[in-house]
């Protein structure tokens, strides 16, 4: 009976390791997409839009919010 329990625990540990690896890969892809693609594209579009005043101020915050979203996603995935 004890041997069966040990086998079951080892199998669950292997499954948990696979889930953690999958989460890390997903997290890495999400961070790369947000930081390397989304923020520069949004920043370029904002620059080319020639916005002024309050609109420019509000729209200028979008890249910061994308960075904060990346941080929240990282925290949510790592905390379980």
Residue 35 lies in a domain: yes
Tokens of 57: 């101020």
The predicted model gives 2-24 an average pLDDT of 65
- Structure confidence by residue, pLDDT tens digits, 32-78: 888 899 899 999 999 999 999 999 999 999 999 999 998 998 888 88
Residue 3 lies in a domain: no
Residue 26 lies in a domain: yes
The predicted model gives 10-23 an average pLDDT of 67
Indicate the number of domains in the chain.
Answer: 1
Residue 42 lies in a domain: yes
Residue 46 lies in a domain: yes
Range of the structural domain that residue 65 is part of: 20-79
Tokens of 38: 């989304």
Residue 57 lies in a domain: yes
Which residues neighbour 43 within 8 Å (Cβ) at sequence distance 6 or greater?
63
């Amino acid at each position: 009976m004890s041997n069966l329990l040990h086998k079951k625990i080892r199998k669950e540990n292997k499954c948990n390791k696979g889930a953690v690896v999958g989460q890390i890969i997903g997290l890495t892809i999400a961070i790369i997409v947000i930081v390397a693609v989304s923020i520069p594209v949004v920043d370029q579009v904002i620059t080319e839009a020639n916005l002024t005043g309050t609109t420019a101020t509000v729209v200028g915050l979008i890249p910061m919010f994308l960075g904060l979203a990346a941080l929240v996603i990282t925290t949510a995935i790592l905390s379980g």
